Amino acid sequence: MGDSSGRPEGRERHAGFDRFDRGDRGDRGDRGDRGDRGDRGDRGDRGDRPRPGGPRREESRSNWSVKARLRARARKKARKSKKRMFQRRKVCRFCADKKLLLDYKEPKTLRLFISETGKVTPRRISGTCAKHQRKLALQIKRARQIALLPYAANHL
């Protein structure tokens, strides 16, 4: 014990908190504030990242619960069924048919690109190209502004 305060030597009182004296690096040597990690920075081998080869099967599955094993089996089955299914590539309607116009005055055409909740369907679902998706969103907003299309589901 260093002084009458009862704190170990090398510690000082600072604004109500015990802190180590910054001058004393302890057993860390010249590594500064990196602690025992050396020059690895924050990439220490703590076991929280998967190994490059992946975890060994007997290690990873031995402590899984029954539910986790069932879920894993269901995911594997779903992946297999997805692989077999062939999906036709989506084509932009407006690129394919040049006669089809994007106009806010045609709510029938614009309704095809709005969900039942009133949201604009995304490109990955509708299949429109980026150029026409931007134009489509603009025309939908214009049609909503003059009440040709609903803003929300309860306005349908």
Residue range 46-63, pLDDT digits in tens: 555 566 665 555 556 678
Which residues pair with residue 12 across a beta bridge?
Answer: 19
Question: If you ran DSSP here, which 8-state letter would residue 104 be given?
Answer: T
Q: Mean per-residue pLDDT for 25-29?
A: 54
E strands, the chain, are 11-14, 17-20
Q: Band of the pLDDT at 11, cuts 50, 70, 90?
A: low
Contact at 8 Å (CB) between 129 and 93?
no
- Name the nearest CA neighbour of 155 among 102, 119, 112: 119
Using alpha carbons only, give the angle 151, 154, 156 rounded to the nearest 5 degrees. 70
Question: If you ran DSSP here, which 8-state letter would residue 8 be given?
Answer: P
Distant-in-sequence, close-in-space partners of 142: CB < 8 Å, separation ≥ 6: 104
Structure tokens at 62: 């031995």
Structure tokens at 138: 């603009």
Give the tens place of pLDDT for each residue, 123-140: 999 999 999 999 999 999
Pick the CATH number of 93-155 from 4.10.640.10, 3.90.245.10, 3.90.105.10, 1.10.3210.10: 4.10.640.10
Using alpha carbons only, give the angle 45, 49, 53 rounded to the nearest 5 degrees. 100
Q: What's the mean per-residue pLDDT of the chain?
A: 75
